[in-house]
């Protein structure tokens, strides 16, 4: 039997073949064109070899079966389609269609080849890999294995039979939930949904799979047999009539109709369940071909897969600095943020010295990690030993001497220039001369804070978002004198704690907060105009934002908004804040409506389990416009455009230099409508010319804040894109 580059085959005395997928030189298996070719040939061989009675497929990588398809293969397919379509449109479409279905038809061949195949899922099994498992005749998973079809999250959908086999194994409602959310399932959950036949320990995996084959597993799938019944009954049946009307609302709730990939899932399931499997797979292939051509798919794959991976791998890291050997991190200020940073650092395997003004305050900061670890233990996501090991990494103390071995210190004390300066001097007195000092300030320019530190090359900003354990973005801020080594160490630190960094030049609000302030400020404008508050919140959500601007303002606190406004007016002049906005926020503060923490803000927060609701008094503050006279689409555009325009300004000013960072930063930092691919891709996706026209329209109606910038106007003349104008450096990271 032939082994190939990526697969080894062993046949035992019972005629059972064990196929092990193990890609050389990769930490994880992924499907590339080459792998699919080898897999295809392997299936043919198994069928041709009379000695083979059944086949087990597993992976040679510890803890993972596969991450799924190499998404760059898809973007590659799409690029060649774009290039070809001008010459010969029909042929280009045919090629794209064939490419889109390649994986699906190999899986179908396996499913109908006449010999039984069992997938032995030893670990993470995502996307195309899980679709392969679903095409097998039996599926055994290790207890720790996780699986799912996350394609919808990058703008596409499971196009290798996923939309057909899942709803043929489990009820339609659960199938659609899983497909539309792109959720990851534990082995037990997958078994509960009948997507997996057995869950066993890692050691028994292959033996159990072979047992299934020996006990006469059928090589004909239920849906290829005559008497097959769908788990939720036929689409056109009393049962179907119970299920399908609810699907539209589920779909709307998950997507607000913004994601072509999600829309295609509903169509594939609905249409596919009416017909036999081969026709169903053809339907899926057609929709897949269609979705691959959408702007949303192209933008989402680029930002949420390719760019994110490149940034995580250190696309912006200075190449001349050797990898830093980070062992100990000091954190000064064990408050809300410092406690969170200590937790993620300890989770990332670093030793942490957590300092506050006294022992009690330092201990309180460490207690935050204890609480989070206990939560993980109670959910079964960590063992008690693991929790203890993480906590043992954190030393809480008021003693600055404990920082003498630190490789990096992150300061997270009060947002007060003088307090920060004093802390900086105290740390500098004990810090090693090669160690790096970082501030987590959210508003004070790094360049000015660095003045309290003698060697300013070693001073940098690392700006976290709250809650630190859940927010995946960090902004690394370069002061004027920040050196390469500080940048490299900061990026190595961010990598160690498994967050995504963007590198930003020093400016008021850095990147994310600048854009977010525009979001909230646009909502203030709408309030002042008399747009009903519920309409404001809904427009933002329909535009694709995860949280409405008023709800977000309540989370970040309305007193903070007032503080920021006052600081802005102090530094930039009285005119820098709209007096109507100031009056609104001042009034809210005066009434004690400070946001969620006060139990009242733009919303009222009654005791649980009651839900928050918009404060009725808000409507009385401004004369309300009749809702039917408001252009709802335009409200959506205003939100997306004002943030995109701010992002464009940051690029024009050189605050952000790489469009990938603006895009990824906007999605991870403030949830900017992910289907757009981010703030800059929103502009590039519609075309600079169309964006400038949109801004001009909005500026004429709503004021000069929407005026396109000079650079945008210039780019619009030639149709230049941001990715064309500011080509990302070395953007060719490997998949997975």
Contact criterion met (CB below 8 Å) for 382 and 376: yes
Q: 334 vs 585, which CB is nearer to ligand NAD?
A: 334
- Dihedral sign of CA atoms 696, 698, 701, 706 in order: negative
- The strand pairing partners of 354, in sequence order, are 331, 396
Smallest separation (angstroms) from ligand NAD to the CB of 341: 9
Return left, alpha or beta for 100; rule: phi > 0 is left, psi -120 to 50 is alpha, else beta: alpha
The pair of structure tokens assigned to 541 is 């959500």
Minimum distance, C-beta of residue 355 to ligand NAD, in the bound complex (Å): 6
* Rounded Cα distance, 261 and 267, in Å: 10
Which residue's entry shows tokens 């309409």? 535
Q: Which is nearer to ligand NAD, 520 or 526 (CB)?
A: 520
Our CB check for ligand NAD shows the closer of 243 and 557 to be 557
Report CA-CA distances (Å) from 383 to 348, 376, 379, 380, 394: 16, 8, 10, 7, 18
What's the maximum distance between 2 C-alpha atoms anywhere in the chain? 85
User: Structure tokens of 398?
Assistant: 């008021």
- Total of residues contacting ligand NAD (CB under 6 A): 24
- Indicate left, alpha or beta for 627 from its phi (over 0: left) and psi (-120 to 50: alpha): alpha
CB of 411 to ligand NAD, least distance (A): 8
Please state, in angstroms and as integers, the Cα–Cα distance from residue 588 to each residue in 439, 551, 598, following that order. Answer: 31, 14, 12
- Distance CA(735)–CA(72), nearest Å, equals 7
Least distance (Å) between residue 440 CB and ligand NAD: 4
- Hey, which residues are catalytic here? 463
Rounded CA separation 346/390 (Å): 6
Q: Which is nearer to ligand NAD, 423 or 641 (CB)?
A: 423
3-state SS, residue 332: strand
Tokens of 676: 């757009």
What does the alpha-carbon distance between residue 298 and residue 155 come to, in Å, rounded to a whole number?
8
Identify residues 412-471 at the interface with ligand NAD (CB under 6 A): 412-415, 419, 422-423, 440-442, 463-464, 466
When computed from its CA atoms, the radius of gyration of the chain, rounded to whole angstroms, is 28
When the beta carbons of 228 and 336 are compared against ligand NAD, the nearer one is 336
Which candidate, 701, 699, 693, 735, places its Cα nearest to that of 717? Answer: 693
Q: Which is nearer to ligand NAD, 383 or 466 (CB)?
A: 466
Q: Are 369 and 496 in contact (CB under 8 A)?
A: no
Q: Least distance to ligand NAD from the beta carbon of 684, Å?
A: 29
Q: Smallest distance from the beta carbon of 423 to ligand NAD, in angstroms?
A: 5
CA distance linking residue 294 with residue 157, whole number of Å: 12
Of 466 and 718, the one with the shorter C-beta distance to ligand NAD is 466
Sign of the alpha-carbon torsion through 534, 536, 542, 547: negative
Under rule CB under 6 A, which residues in 375-414 are in contact with ligand NAD? 412-414
Residue number with the shortest CB distance to ligand NAD?
335
Establish if 236 lies at the interface with ligand NAD (CB under 6 A).
Answer: no
Cβ 557 to ligand NAD shortest distance, Å: 9
What's the closest the beta carbon of residue 357 comes to ligand NAD, in angstroms? 5
**Separation CA 222–CA 229 (nearest Å):** 9
Q: Which CB, 41 or 429, lies closer to ligand NAD? A: 429
Q: How far is CA 341 from CA 167, 311, 329, 465, 677, in A?
A: 42, 20, 10, 10, 28
DSSP 726: S
Q: For ligand NAD, give the closer residue by CB, 338 or 708.
A: 338
Q: How far is the CB of 499 from ligand NAD (least distance, A)?
A: 13
Helices 71-85 and 89-111 cross at an angle (nearest 10°) of 150
Min CB(492)–ligand NAD separation in Å: 21
Least distance to ligand NAD, CB of residue 595, Å: 12
Q: Which of residues 680-719 bind ligand NAD (CB under 6 A)?
A: none
Which parts of 603-662 interact with ligand NAD (CB under 6 A)?
Answer: none
User: Which C-beta is closer to ligand NAD: that of 306 or that of 423?
Assistant: 423
Site string for ligand NAD, 323-362 (x = CB under 6 A): ---------xxxxxxx----------------xxx---x-
Q: Which residues contact 72 (CB under 8 A, 6 or more apart)?
A: 306, 735
Beta-sheet strands, E only, within 43-99: 54-59, 64-66, 68-69
C-alpha closest to that of 3 among 17, 116, 210: 17
| DSSP-assigned states of every residue in 673-720 | -GGGTSHHHHHHHH-HHHHHHHHHHHHHHH-GGGPPPHHHHHHHHHT-
Residue 233, helix vs strand vs coil: coil
Q: 660: helix, coil or strand?
A: helix
Binding to ligand NAD, residues 31-60 (CB under 6 A):
none
Least separation, in Å, of the C-beta of 453 and ligand NAD? 15
Q: Which is nearer to ligand NAD, 400 or 582 (CB)?
A: 400
Give first-to-last CA distance, the chain, whole Å: 29
Residue span 92-121 as binding mask against ligand NAD, x where in contact by CB under 6 A, dash where not: ------------------------------
Smaller CB separation from ligand NAD, 46 or 477: 477
CB of 605 to ligand NAD, least distance (A): 18
Q: Do 118 and 135 form a contact (C-beta atoms < 8 A)? A: no
Cβ proximity to ligand NAD: between 335 and 530 the closer is: 335
Query: Which residue shows structure tokens 């194994």?
Result: 169
Task: Compute the distance between CA of residue 569 and CA of residue 579 in angstroms, rounded to an integer.
Answer: 11
- Quick one: which of 613, 639, 637 has its CA closest to 533? 613
Integer Cα distance of 410 and 77 in angstroms: 44
| Sign, CA torsion 509/524/535/621 | positive
Q: Is the peptide bond before 609 cis (omega within 30 degrees of 0)?
A: yes
The residues of the shown chain that bind ligand NAD, judged by CB under 6 A, are 332-338, 355-357, 361, 412-415, 419, 422-423, 440-442, 463-464, 466
């Amino acid at each position: 039997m032939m082994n190939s580059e990526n697969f080894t085959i062993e046949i035992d005395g019972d005629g059972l073949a064990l196929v092990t997928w193990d890609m050389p030189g990769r930490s994880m298996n992924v499907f590339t064109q080459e792998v699919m070719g080898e897999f295809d040939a392997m299936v043919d061989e198994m069928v041709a070899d009379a000695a083979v009675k059944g086949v087990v497929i597993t992976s040679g990588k510890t803890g993972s079966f596969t991450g799924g398809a190499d998404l760059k293969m898809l973007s590659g397919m799409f690029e060649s389609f774009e290039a070809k379509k001008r010459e010969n449109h029909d042929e280009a479409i045919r090629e794209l269609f064939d490419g889109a279905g390649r994986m699906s038809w190999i899986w179908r061949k396996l499913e109908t080849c006449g010999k039984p195949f069992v997938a032995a899922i030893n670990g993470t099994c995502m996307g195309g890999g899980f679709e392969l498992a679903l095409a097998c005749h039996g599926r055994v998973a290790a207890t720790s294995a996780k699986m799912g079809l996350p394609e919808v999250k990058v703008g596409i959908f499971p196009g290798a039979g996923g939309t057909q086999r899942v709803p043929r194994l489990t009820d339609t409602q659960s199938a659609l939930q899983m497909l539309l959310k792109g959720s990851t399932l534990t082995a037990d959950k997958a078994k509960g949904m009948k997507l997996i036949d057995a869950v066993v320990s890692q050691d028994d995996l292959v033996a159990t799979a072979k047992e299934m084959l020996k006990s006469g597993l059928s090589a004909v799938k239920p849906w290829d047999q005559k008497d097959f019944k769908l788990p939720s009954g036929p689409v056109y049946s009393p049962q179907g009539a119970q299920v399908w009307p609810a699907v539209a609302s589920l779909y709307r709730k998950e997507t607000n109709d913004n994601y072509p990939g999600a829309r295609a899932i509903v169509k594939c399931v609905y249409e596919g369940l009416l017909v036999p499997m081969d026709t169903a797979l053809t339907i899926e292939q057609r929709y897949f071909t269609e979705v691959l051509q959408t702007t949303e798919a192209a933008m989402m794959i680029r930002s949420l897969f390719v760019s994110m991976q490149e940034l995580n791998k250190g696309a912006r890291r200075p190449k001349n600095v050797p990898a830093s050997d980070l062992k100990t991190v000091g954190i000064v200020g064990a408050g809300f943020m410092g406690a969170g940073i200590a937790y993620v650092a300890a989770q990332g395997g670093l030793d942490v010295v957590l300092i506050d003004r006294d022992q009690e305050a330092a201990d309180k900061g460490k207690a935050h990690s204890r609480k989070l670890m206990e939560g993980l233990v109670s959910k079964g996501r960590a063992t008690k030993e693991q929790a203890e090991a993480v906590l043992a990494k954190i030393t809480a103390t008021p003693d600055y001497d404990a920082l003498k071995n630190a490789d990096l210190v992150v300061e997270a004390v009060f947002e007060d220039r003088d307090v920060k300066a004093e802390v900086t001097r105290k740390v500098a007195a004990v810090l090693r001369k090669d160690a790096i000092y970082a501030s987590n300030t959210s508003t004070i320019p790094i360049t000015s804070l660095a003045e309290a530190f003698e060697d300013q090359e070693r001073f940098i900003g690392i700006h976290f978002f709250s809650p630190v354990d859940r927010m995946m973005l960090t902004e690394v801020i370069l002061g004027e004198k920040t050196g390469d080594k500080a940048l490299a160490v900061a990026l190595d630190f961010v990598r160690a704690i498994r967050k995504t960094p963007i590198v930003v030049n020093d400016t008021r609000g850095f990147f994310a907060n600048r854009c977010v302030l525009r979001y909230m400020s646009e909502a203030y404008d709408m309030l002042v105009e008399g747009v009903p508050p519920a309409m404001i919140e809904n427009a933002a959500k329909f535009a694709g934002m995860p949280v409405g601007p008023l709800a977000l303002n309540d989370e970040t606190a309305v007193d903070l908004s007032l503080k920021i406004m006052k600081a802005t007016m102090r530094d930039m002049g009285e005119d820098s804040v709209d007096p109507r906005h100031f009056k609104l926020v001042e009034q809210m503060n005066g009434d004690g409506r400070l946001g969620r923490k006060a139990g009242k803000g733009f919303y009222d927060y009654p005791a649980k389990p009651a839900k928050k609701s918009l404060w009725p008094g808000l409507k009385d503050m401004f004369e309300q416009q009749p809702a039917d006279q408001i252009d709802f689409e335009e409200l959506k555009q205003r939100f997306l455009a004002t943030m995109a325009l701010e992002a464009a300004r940051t690029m024009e000013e050189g605050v952000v230099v790489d469009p990938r960072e603006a895009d990824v930063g906007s999605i991870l930092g403030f949830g900017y409508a992910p289907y757009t691919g981010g703030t800059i891709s929103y502009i590039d996706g519609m075309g600079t010319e169309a964006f400038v026209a949109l801004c001009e329209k909005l500026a004429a109606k709503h004021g000069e804040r929407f005026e396109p910038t000079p650079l945008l106007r210039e780019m619009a003349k030639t149709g230049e894109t941001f990715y064309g104008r500011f080509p990302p450096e070395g953007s060719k990271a490997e998949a997975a």
